[in-house]
Chain A
Amino acid sequence: MTVTGPDGAPAVMLAHGFGCDQNMWRLVVPVLERDFRVVLFDHVGAGRSDLSSWSEERYASLEGYAEDVLEMCAELALGPVVFVGHSVSAMIGVLAAAAEPERFRGLVLLTPSPCYIDDPAAGYRGGFSAEDIEELLASLEANYLGWSATMAPVIMGNPERPELGEELTNSFCRTDPEIARVFARATFLSDNRADLARVRLPTLVAQCSSDAIAPREVGAFVHAQIAGSELVTLSATGHCPQLSAPEATAAAIASFAAGVSR
């Protein structure tokens, strides 16, 4: 866990999603740390986290991750934070905020989805079927054969930015296939639709104009379920606006965080 930015400024905690680690935030941090205390961390099992504290039992569901977030908030003692959760971490934030709202000033849910799998009976479209998720697991498996061995030299052979190479090598090569499989299941098989109404905090739902993982109708669903929430659509393609549209993403986070910290 790292904390940067001016002492005494309102705290913004950035939580990465499934697949990558805190490096995902590298393009928005320089903007945010001008006015906020920025808290970065790797979920247990990802990046440079302590893999020995990972257990399938605790991390087979998002509750384990939400408990970690609450423990970090308590440990930091920075007062209530603005929690920014990307992708699956949006729901981790929802669970944490429902359990201990006093820890948070507000939530930014970046490309959130409360349920990835379609539920035709409820008229809900998450965009995926259970078979699609199994296919993702197969993709993960297929890439572990060549991943660690062939990726490392490519990434490390990045002479212009060696620090980047090292971080990425560690981040990806250390992702234990078993951990990735459990996290993928916890992420894509979870259903947190009913938890959205438990959020009683100022909330910003930020979605992308075109996102295969969290389509716009899912963003609209999240917005509708959280009373008083605000919805913005970033002009960005893909599931990671903090990389594809970092300025707009940082601006949206900063303006929301400034608003709720006043």
Chain B
Amino acid sequence: MSDGGGDGRACGTDAAGEPALLPALLEDSAEDLYENAPCGYLSTLMDGQIAKVNRTLLDWLGYRREELVGRRRFADLLTVGGQLYHETHFAPLLRMQGELSGIALELKAADGSRLPVLVTSVVKTGGDGEPLLIRTTVFDARDRRAYEAELLRARQEADRERERLQRLATTLQRTLLPPALEDVPGLEVAAYYHIASVDEVGGDFYDLFPLAADAWGLFLGDVCGKGAAAAAVTSLTRYTLRAAAVYDPDPAAVLGNLNTVLNQNQNGADPRFCTVVFGLLTPDPAAGGFHITLAGGGHPPAVLMRADGSARYLPTPGGQLIGVLPDAHIATTTLRLGPGDTLLLYTDGLTEARTDRSGGRYGDEALLDFARALAPTTASAAVEALRGLLTSLGDGVDDDAALLAITVPRSPATGGGAAGRGGRTPGAS
């Protein structure tokens, strides 16, 4: 300290312009700095026994020095939960790495109140490298902990909201799809809906439903966009299609009516378009199987997998996106589905799936090759195989994908559409 005084005099000479600093610095001895530092100091033996503690920490906790030194361990000052944390994390880490910083703990004051603190500890070693004691600084963290508790609360709130949103999206999605597909005598049906994101409702949809006696309608489509706005358009589209088909089941007329409804409902901020394939199924009792008339509005072509093992696209050329123009051009095609034939409808979530990081897409060619490898097949086998394909594409499927397949079974006895109940709804995926 006498050296310090000498420095002080020299300093006083140099700093002649600021004489007021001198007495203040002289007062600030190392001992005073330790005792009355703006943070708590604590030294313990390696077993945690308190060997030294400063005035600041004693004042914070309301203890007298002799109540702690030689009598209590550092862990004794912690809450019970804090002691568990100390024993399972703090002490082992400190032993292994020799220091530890910024650990949030709560100290128990003499009056039972709790003081949130941030603790930093360092192990002091002797000349031979053996650990001698643990030096700890303690910072009052009341304000910071209140802030952190607020952050934590906000994060938990955000987690809960996200869960709620996901539940809502899943529920909404489910209401946009039929819970089970209609039984059609003499037809096997299967469907699958692949959800790309649990956070948002997708815009794909499908249905199969009875019309007049011996006639069924089916459709599959994709509303542009995602989320609540798309869900509203999906709902409008589904009910319009079903209502229009009752009024006039001709597929071109059904899509024409849908076009009129969507077009009249357009507003600039929330465009309402979709692509869709609508089919009218009627049995062919003479030859066995079904006649089907398909009308397409800007939708990817259906795939026909024949009983003879061939596969091809069924283009509906010229069909336009539904809802854009006042008078949409609707293209139709008619064919007969015989025993062993399978018709597959899908949305572009499948063909547009990314297959590599450079942006390559699965594509129409790959799907046709896949179909050729499958044919001849059944609705449920085809949907199962494509479900596997979607799973294998993983994150590459960045849009929802819907599949709807129908097969005329080879033996009439095995019809009935039972496989339709095996079709997946979003809740099951």
A and B form one complex: yes
Q: Which residues of A contact B (CB under 8 A)?
A: 17-20, 23-24, 26, 87, 128-129, 132-143, 145-146, 150-151, 154-155, 158, 164-165, 168, 172, 188, 210-213, 237-240, 243-244
Enumerate chain B residues within 8 angstroms of A150, measured Cβ to Cβ.
101-102
CB contact under 8 A between A237 and B99, given known A132-B81, A213-B87: no
In the complex formed, the residue of A with least CB distance to B85 is: A139
Contact B92 A19, beta carbon cutoff 8 Å = yes
Docked complex Cα distance between A155 and B85 (Å) = 19
The answer to whether B81 and A136 touch across the interface, beta carbons within 8 angstroms, is yes
Q: Are A132 and B84 in contact (CB under 8 A)?
A: yes
User: What are 12 A-B pairs at a CB distance below 8 A?
Assistant: A20-B92, A132-B81, A136-B81, A141-B152, A145-B148, A146-B148, A154-B102, A164-B96, A168-B96, A212-B84, A213-B88, A239-B91
Per the bound structure, the CA–CA distance linking A150 and B118 in Å amounts to 12
In the complex, what's the smallest C-beta–C-beta distance from B83 to chain A, in angstroms? 5
Does B411 lie at the interface of the complex (its beta carbon under 8 Å from any beta carbon of A)?
no
Separation in Å of the B153 CB from the closest CB of chain A?
11
Q: By the criterion CB–CB under 8 Å, are A188 and B46 in contact?
A: no
CB pair B89 A19 closer than 8 Å: yes
Of B47, B97, B98, the most chain A CB neighbours within 10 A belong to B97
Say whether, besides A23-B96, A135-B80, A165-B97, A140 and B48 are in contact (CB < 8 Å).
no
Q: Which applies to chain A's interface (DSSP): helix, strand, loop or mixed?
A: helix
Q: Shortest distance in angstroms between A15's beta carbon and chain B's nearest beta carbon?
A: 15
A24 touching B145 by the CB < 8 A rule?
no
Nearest Cβ distance between residue B125 and chain A, in whole angstroms?
Answer: 11
Known contacts A141-B152, A158-B97: does B92 contact A243 (CB below 8 Å)?
Answer: yes
Instruction: State which residues 81-131 of B face A: CB under 8 Å.
Output: 81-85, 87-89, 91-93, 95-106, 118
B79 at the interface (CB under 8 A from A): yes
**Binary A-proximity of B141-152 (CB < 8 A = 1, otherwise 0):** 000010010011
In the complex with contacts A136-B81, A139-B81, A240-B75 CB distance below 8 A: no
**Most A Cβ at <10 Å: residue of B46, B88, B89, B104:** B88
Contact A237–B88 (Cβ < 8 Å): no
Which residues from A are CB-within-8-Å of B87? 211-213, 238-240
Contact B152 A145 (CB under 8 A): yes
Contacts of B32-51 to chain A: CB distance below 8 A: 46-48
Closest to A240 in B: B92
- B281 shortest CB reach to chain A, Å: 44
CB distance from A214 to the nearest CB of B (A): 9
Among A87, A140, A165, find the residue whose CB has the most chain B CB atoms closer than 10 A. A140
Nearest-Cβ distance from residue A110 to partner chain B, whole angstroms: 13
Q: Nearest chain A CB to B135's CB is how many angstroms away?
A: 15
The reply to whether B97 and A164 contact each other, CB–CB distance below 8 Å, is yes
User: Residues of B contacting A212 with CB < 8 Å?
Assistant: 75, 83-84, 87
A-B pairs with beta carbons under 8 A, tally: 114
Which residue of A128, A145, A151, A243 is within 8 Å of B95 (Cβ)? A243
Cβ contacts under 8 Å, B102 to chain A: 146, 150-151, 154
Contact of A188 among B84, B99, B151 (CB under 8 A): B84
Residue from A26, A132, A164 having most chain B Cβ neighbours under 10 A: A132
Bound Cα distance A184, B256 (Å): 62
Q: How far is the CA of A136 from the CA of B87 in the complex (A)?
A: 11
**B91: which A residues are within 8 A, CB to CB?**
238-240, 243-244
Contact of B79 among A18, A135, A165, A237 (CB under 8 A): A135
Q: A145-B152, A146-B104, A240-B92 are in contact. Are A139 and B82 (CB under 8 A)?
A: yes
Task: For the complex of A and B, list the 4 residue pairs with the smallest distance between their C-beta atoms, beginning with the closest.
Answer: A135-B81, A19-B88, A237-B47, A139-B85
Question: Is B88 within 8 A of A17, CB to CB?
Answer: yes
Chain B residues numbered 56-90 whose CB sits less than 8 Å from any CB in chain A: 73, 75, 79-85, 87-89
Query: What chain B residues lie within 8 Å of A158 (beta carbons)?
Result: 97-99
Please name all residues of chain B whose beta carbon is closer than 8 Å to the beta carbon of A143 when the two chains form the complex: 85, 89, 103-104
Q: Contacts of B100 on A, CB cut-off 8 Å?
A: 154
Partner of B84 from the list A139, A210, A243, A244 (CB cut-off 8 Å) is: A139
* A218-B341 Cα distance, complex, nearest whole Å: 72
A210 to B88, CA, bound (A): 15
| A172 adjacent to B93 (CB under 8 Å) | yes
Closest Cβ–Cβ distance, residue A206 to chain B (whole Å): 16
Residue among A138, A140, A142 facing the most chain B CB atoms (10 A cut-off): A142
Closest chain-B Cβ to A166's Cβ sits at a distance in Å of 11
Q: From A154, which residue of chain B is reached at the shortest CB distance?
A: B101
Contact of A213 among B47, B84, B97, B101 (CB under 8 A): B84
Taking CB atoms, residues of chain B closer than 8 Å to A87 are 88
Q: A19-B88, A237-B47, A240-B87 are in contact. Are A132 and B104 (CB under 8 A)?
A: no
Contacts A141-B152, A145-B152, A238-B47 known; A20 to B95 CB distance under 8 Å?
A: no
Q: Whole-angstrom distance from the CB of A102 to the nearest CB of chain B?
A: 32
Residues of A within 8 A of B151 (CB): 145
Contact B88 A239 (CB under 8 A): yes
Which of A129, A133, A155, A165 is the most central at the interface, judged by chain B CB atoms within 10 Å of its CB?
A155
CA distance A135 to B79 in the complex (A): 8
Chain A residue with Cβ nearest B86: A212
Give, as a whole number of angstroms, the nearest-CB distance from A85 to chain B: 15
